[in-house]
Amino acid sequence: MLTATRDENAMEEVIQQLRPDSKGRITLGKLAQGVSSFRARRTEDGNILLEPFAEIPAREKWLFENPSALGAVRAGLAQAAEGRTRTLGSFAQYADEDIE
């Protein structure tokens, strides 16, 4: 079970205390849920910070490198969330066409 406490000297939330095993490894368990990798950094004062990453497939990378396309997708998602959608009818007639 995870418990959260506040460190009075810092603005971070302490989720749980972890202890390394004999080889210096720690297990994050549920704290790593949805994370594919971490970037580890040691600060000047000796703290170790883990920055979580959720990687994307290479075939989707183009979207995040194209600000115009990413903006259009985000706008569309916002419109859909607000219920601002419209139907364009069925596209079944194109189902058997070859894509070039």
Q: Which pLDDT does position 30 carry in this prediction?
A: 87
Q: What percent of the chain has pLDDT over 70?
A: 88
Q: Which pLDDT does position 2 carry in this prediction?
A: 45
- 15 and 45: one domain? yes
Phi, psi torsion values for 29, nearest 5 degrees: 55, -125
- 38 and 68: one domain? no
Mean pLDDT, residues 54-80 taken together: 94
Domain, as residue range, for 19: 5-53
Structure tokens at 93: 């007639």
pLDDT, one tens digit per residue, over 9-45 is 556 677 788 899 999 999 988 888 889 899 999 999 9
- Cα→Cα distances 56→40, 42, 45, 50, Å: 20, 26, 33, 19
Q: Is residue 47 part of a domain?
A: yes
Q: What gap in Å lies between CA 20 and CA 94, rounded to an integer?
A: 58
Q: What gap in Å lies between CA 79 and CA 85, rounded to an integer?
A: 7
- 48 and 63: one domain? no
